[in-house]
């Protein structure tokens, strides 16, 4: 091989090592002051103050400003009160309805219950909704049956507990808080109470004059 060709080959080989060398230098250098080379910079570099940095514009030198008085952070407005959480200030479940229990509320509760809960718990709350029946039929063995809502343990629960089951789910039951707003959750709780009354009623609960009409 002619000598010049060997020299050229050597130069090319050494040049090909340069990118790798750059990478190694970058890796081993613990203090990086300049940003990486960016082919498409997008909006990566913007004039802004990073967290905890100094801003000479303000007298106190802080770039992070205190919130103006009365500011409510997004999502935190609904932070207080039994109406939103079903929980009292002492962390116990609410035992009183924080909304007036009216016929309109119960009707609304029935409508919402039939939409959101009856699929599993059944229209009467006995745990015999369409989904439960279908799962029983499939008999795959992994199914947790929906609780009978007129079972004594559920009757004994506080209103706030039931509210929380709707909002956050419980064990194998999914949460419905993102689909059912607070007012409607209370409407459903009220309706579940009505279902419980209806399912545990005895002849004594029926007014005297209506008893004859019952079969
Ligand atoms: C996808 C089916 C499904 C839907 C829809 C559903 N539930 Fe449930 N629910 C369950 C299952 C399953 C359980 C039992 C969970 C367990 O024990 O693991 C349960 C349990 C409960 C309990 C008993 C909680 C306890 O502590 O024992 C209540 C009360 C309840 N559900 C109310 C509701 C209400 C009100 C709705 C409508 C907003 C609703 N559920 C919608 C499946 C469902």
Tens-digit pLDDT profile for residues 80-119: 788 999 998 888 999 999 999 999 999 999 999 999 999 9
pLDDT of residue 111: 96
Ligand 1 pocket test target in 93, 115, 121 with most atoms within 8 Å of CB: 121
Q: How confident is the model at residue 32 (pLDDT cuts 50, 70, 90)?
A: low
DSSP conformational letter for 178: T
Is the CB of 120 inside a 6 Å radius of any atom of ligand 1? yes
Ligand 1 centroid distance, CA of 89 (Å): 26
DSSP conformational letter for 145: P
| pLDDT at residue 35 tops 90 | no
| pLDDT at residue 212 tops 90 | no
Ligand 1 centroid distance, CA of 166 (Å): 8
Is the CB of 176 inside a 6 Å radius of any atom of ligand 1? yes
How much is the average pLDDT of 149-162? 94
Query: Could you tell me the CA-to-CA distances from 211 to 93, 141, 200, 202, 204 in Å, in that order?
Result: 38, 44, 16, 11, 9
Q: Distance between CA atoms of 144 and 127, rounded to whole angstroms? A: 11
Q: How confident is the model at residue 41 (pLDDT cuts 50, 70, 90)?
A: confident
CB-based contact 122:132 (threshold 8 Å): yes
Fold of 80-202: Cytochrome Bc1 Complex; Chain D, domain 2 (1.10.760)
| pLDDT at residue 51 tops 90 | no
- From the list 112, 108, 84, 109, the residue with the least C-alpha distance to 98 is 84
| pLDDT, mean over the chain | 89
β partners of residue 13: none
Ligand 1 pocket test target in 165, 181, 196 with most atoms within 8 Å of CB: 165
Is the CB of 165 inside a 6 Å radius of any atom of ligand 1? yes
Q: State if pTM tops 0.85.
A: no
How much is the average pLDDT of 26-37? 72
DSSP conformational letter for 212: G
Give me the half-sphere count of Cα atoms (radius 13 Å) on the Cβ side of residue 63. 9
């Amino acid at each position: 091989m002619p000598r010049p060709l060997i020299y050229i080959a050597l130069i090319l080989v050494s040049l090909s090592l340069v990118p790798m060398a750059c990478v190694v230098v970058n890796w081993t250098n613990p203090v990086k002051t300049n940003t990486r080379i960016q082919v498409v910079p997008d909006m990566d570099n913007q004039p802004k103050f990073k967290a905890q940095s100094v801003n000479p514009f303000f007298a106190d030198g802080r770039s992070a400003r205190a919130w103006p008085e009365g500011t409510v952070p997004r999502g935190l407005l609904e932070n207080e009160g039994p109406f939103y959480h079903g929980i009292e200030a002492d962390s116990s479940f609410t035992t009183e309805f924080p909304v007036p229990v009216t016929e309109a509320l119960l009707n609304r509760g029935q409508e919402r219950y039939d939409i959101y809960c009856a699929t599993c718990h059944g229209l009467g709350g006995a745990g015999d909704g369409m989904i439960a029946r279908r799962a029983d039929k499939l008999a795959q063995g992994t199914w947790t049956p929906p609780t009978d809502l007129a079972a004594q343990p559920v009757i004994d629960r506080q209103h706030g507990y039931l509210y929380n089951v709707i909002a956050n789910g419980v064990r194998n039951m999914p949460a419905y808080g993102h689909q059912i707003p607070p007012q409607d959750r209370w409407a459903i709780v009220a309706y579940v109470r009505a279902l419980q009354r209806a399912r545990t009623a005895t002849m004594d609960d029926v007014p005297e004059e209506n008893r004859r009409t019952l079969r």
